[in-house]
Structure 1
Amino acid sequence: MEAPPGRRRYDSLRRTAQALETRADVARAARRLFVEQGWAATTVRDVAREAGVSVPTVYAVYGNKAGLTRALADAADLSADVPLQLAELEAAEKDPRRQLAAMVGFDRRLYERAGDVITLLREAGRTEPELAALYRDGRTRADETRVSVFSSWPPGVLRPDLDVPTATDIYAGMCNIDVYATLTTERGWTPDQVERWWREALVRELLS
């Protein structure tokens, strides 16, 4: 018996939703296993078993093991909400303090929600050139945002002894995954405390 027109109309949407859910299941499984077992010890078959799908399905969705990690890197950026950061930066175009706060907020969200992925990429990248490139790409994009923001400020906003490259280095030295992990894991700070300290410290270190 032929399906009603209304049901047929949504078949394509239903298939798309199912495909997206499968991708999400595989990505979540890969993240758990990569973090728990390490990159080298985890196989595509392990990921398929954890996700409850077939090995060919994993290959069809992500291509190979490196593709899984690329998906996780993309997911890290999504979890930190790049559009929100852009909107906040544009809204605070004439207010360097608020722009610093927007950048710090993005980094806090990134490390809070995807710090394990960033650490995984960095550590696995010591032996896997493709993963090392992914980690470098992420750091490069972060620096490009900082350079773009700092370069947009009129003369006199940065401290007189700072140029844009040095200000970018100071930001990267303070607001990174290692500092975040040390404060939250070893020192018992909350993410809110880290974000507040970063905001206040960057104003002292960077602005006139």
Structure 2
Amino acid sequence: MSAEAGRRRYDSLRRTAQAQETRAEIARTARRLFISHGWAATSIRDVAREAGVSVPTVYAAYQNKTGLALALADAADLSADVPQLIADLEALAGPARQLAALTAFDRRLFERASDVIMLMREAGRTEPQLSAAYHGARRRADETRLQVFSSWSAGILRRGVDIQCAADIYAGLCNIDVYTTLTTERGWSPNRVEQWWTEALTRELLAEQTEHPASR
């Protein structure tokens, strides 16, 4: 095979890789501009200019600004590693350890994508699709916790705390606002937040005889 024939053989792969890198660069640029300038103040033209591509290229890749934000939200979910959460929940025996797996996931999500989550919440005030995406993610998180809590035997939860109440307490403690306050205003490390969440939830949700994660 000649060198020219070999080059042509991989042209399709090369074009695919270039297209993927272009999409990634557009997304990185959009994330930076949305966070620094605000959702409303950032246009597709701004994103295209900063990313070094044409406006039609941005539209071809993401359709519109809302589509671009939705793609960022999807990437944020991937960055938190849902498969790892599932593997941990399946492998770890005991409610305290499963609580630790849940808080570890939330820590990963907020540490890697808190800016995108805040963007989605803010932009959702005026964009119905983004509002639906934001609240849909919150709803899925609640459903996961309810599923985990429902799998526990009777007597695991503290007296007076039912499954729905446990989910409410979890949501009240482990959320983006608490994480942001502690890490940006109070100087806590993400690791310290995760450890506090796990300990606080163990105290608030589990009966005294339930295994504490520190005993692992």
Which residue identity is paired with 2:62? Y
- Residues 14-163 of structure 1: pairs in structure 2 closer than 5 A: 14-92=14-92, 94-163=93-162
- Residue 44 (structure 1) shift: 0.4
Which residue identity is paired with 1:202? L
Residue of structure 2 equivalent to 1:187: 186
- Residue 96 (structure 1) shift: 1.1
Give the Cα separation in 2 of the matches to 1:177 and 1:15: 39
Q: 2:77 aligns to what SS in structure 1? A: helix
Query: Is there any run of 5+ residues in structure 2 with no aligned partner, and where?
Result: 208-216
Which residue identity is paired with 2:57? T
1:13/1:166 CA distance change after superposition, 3 Å: same
- Residue 128 (structure 1) shift: 1.7
Give the Cα separation in 2 of the matches to 1:110 and 1:18: 28
Which residue identity is paired with 1:63? Q
Give the Cα separation in 2 of the matches to 1:127 and 1:13: 40
Which residue identity is paired with 1:135? Y
- Residue 77 (structure 1) shift: 0.4
- Residue 3 (structure 1) shift: 5.5
Q: Deviations over 1:80-123 (max 9, x none)?
A: 1111111111111x311111111101100111110011111111
- Residue 29 (structure 1) shift: 0.6
Give the Cα separation in 2 of the matches to 1:5 and 1:202: 62
- Residue 5 (structure 1) shift: 4.7
- Of 167-176 and 16-25, deviating more is 16-25
Give the Cα separation in 2 of the matches to 1:39 and 1:65: 9
TM-score, normalised relative to structure 1:
0.95
Query: Is there any run of 5+ residues in structure 1 with no aligned partner, and where?
Result: none
Q: Deviations over 1:13-35 (max 9, x none)?
A: 22222121111101111100100
Give the Cα separation in 2 of the matches to 1:140 and 1:55: 35
Residue of structure 2 equivalent to 1:172: 171
Using the aligned pairs only, state the percent identity: 71
Which residue identity is paired with 2:14? R
- Residue 62 (structure 1) shift: 0.6
Residue of structure 2 equivalent to 1:7: 7
- Residue 9 (structure 1) shift: 3.7
Q: 2:89 aligns to what SS in structure 1? A: helix
Aligned length: 206
- Residue 134 (structure 1) shift: 1.2
Which residue identity is paired with 2:182? L
